[in-house]
Amino acid sequence: MEGNLGTTNLLLGIMAAVSVLEALLLIGVGIAGFMIYRRVMDLVSHLEERQVAPAMARVNAILDDLKVVSAKVKEEAERVDTAIRTTMDRVDDTADRVRSNVRAKTSRIVGIVRGARVALEHILSRAA
């Protein structure tokens, strides 16, 4: 039975050694993963500093310019709208004045023509 215990102890020793190697391997993988993570984060932060930050600055400058341009366009559109409304009001006022002047001047002529017509009808009705 002693031979069996020696074999068992040998197998247990091998398993213990393999377990220690596995633990060391897991610790090494964890350390390597942490180092890779740190390098990737450094790379990302440097990439952000070199590429993303200037691009964002340019985009923000473009957006600021766009904001200024859109404000000016809105201001000019309101100005044009006001000018058009003012012009339309003037045209309407001028049309009303022309209409009233034409009526005032033509009403005299219409009155004279109607008076002449009535006079002619009266003369013709007497003659008949």
In a domain, 128, yes or no: no
Q: What is the pTM of this model?
A: 0.45
In a domain, 127, yes or no: no
In a domain, 45, yes or no: yes
User: The domain containing residue 43 runs over which residues?
Assistant: 1-100
DSSP string, 48-103: IIIIIHHHHHHHHHHHHHHHHHHHHHHHHHHHHHHHHHHHHHHHHHHHHHHHHHHH
Question: pLDDT tens for residues 57-81?
Answer: 889 999 999 999 999 999 999 999 9
In a domain, 116, yes or no: no
Tell me the average pLDDT of the chain.
88
In a domain, 122, yes or no: no
Q: Could you tell me what percent of the chain has a pLDDT over 70?
A: 97
In a domain, 35, yes or no: yes
As a whole number, mean pLDDT of residues 7-21 equals 92
What tokens were used for 7?
Answer: 């074999």
In a domain, 105, yes or no: no
In a domain, 93, yes or no: yes
Q: Give the total number of structural domains in the chain.
A: 1
